[in-house]
Amino acid sequence: MQRFLFLVGLSALVMTGTAAADSLNIGLSDKLIATTYQMDYRNDVIAQASVLHAKADDHRSNVLGIGFLVGDSYNSGTVQPHIGAKLFALDGEHADGYGLALDGSVDFNVAPRVWLRAELAYAPDVVVGGDFDRYYELEASAGYQIIPKALVYLGYKDVQAKNSGNDYEVYQGIVVGVKFSF
């Protein structure tokens, strides 16, 4: 299921045409690697494919995501909001699930090279399948543009699923990363 979702999403990203801007985001910690490839079409539609591998407590988890966001990229001001949805598949050692999550993010340019970013994705019971009832991802980060095509950041990431009142923690903690623009 996960491979299918990833391949469908990757194919959709490739077939939708020439991208105006591409970026690759790599976040790391001692228990996590998270990568996101993003294409920005016509400055207002963003397509993303993401892979997350984490080890929390006594289990390992993998999350694949494919989604689209629309935003106000024409606004060259300090705030850039985006809203969209993504398909995800979670493969854990003790449980598996999939679904459709609503996704939203906002980027704040607080100084010429300093960025703050927040993102939230949430999927309620009605759009989640497998062993889970709900799913969410929360991320907040602060970044500094070290060169025109690279940004380094420090952030916090929380990815969890719930089943029958129990929390299934994928990852919760600090992330250090770099985002490359092409």
Sequential DSSP letters for 135-163: EEEEEEEEEEEEETTEEEEEEEEEEEEEE
The pLDDT-based confidence of 19 (bands split at 50, 70, 90) is: very low
Return the domain boundaries, the chain: 2-181
Predicted pLDDT of residue 15? 46
- pLDDT at 165 (0 to 100): 72
pLDDT in tens, 67-108: 999 987 555 568 888 999 999 999 988 789 999 999 999 989
The CATH number of 2-181 is: 2.40.128.90
- % residues pLDDT > 90 (the chain): 62
pLDDT per position as a tens digit, 108-129: 999 989 999 999 999 999 999 9
Neighbours of 161 (CB within 10 A): 28
Which of 1-10, 142-151, 156-165 is predicted least confidently?
1-10
Average pLDDT (138-156) is 96
Q: What is the pLDDT of residue 168?
A: 87
Average pLDDT, the chain: 86
Predicted local distance difference test score (pLDDT) of residue 2: 53
Global pTM reads 0.84
Q: What is the DSSP letter of 44?
A: T
Which H or E element spans position 5?
helix 2-15
- Sort residue 11 into left (φ over 0), alpha (ψ -120 to 50) or beta: alpha
- pLDDT category at 45 given cuts 50, 70, 90 is confident
In the three-class reduction of DSSP (H, G, I as helix; E, B as strand; rest coil), residue 182 is classed as coil
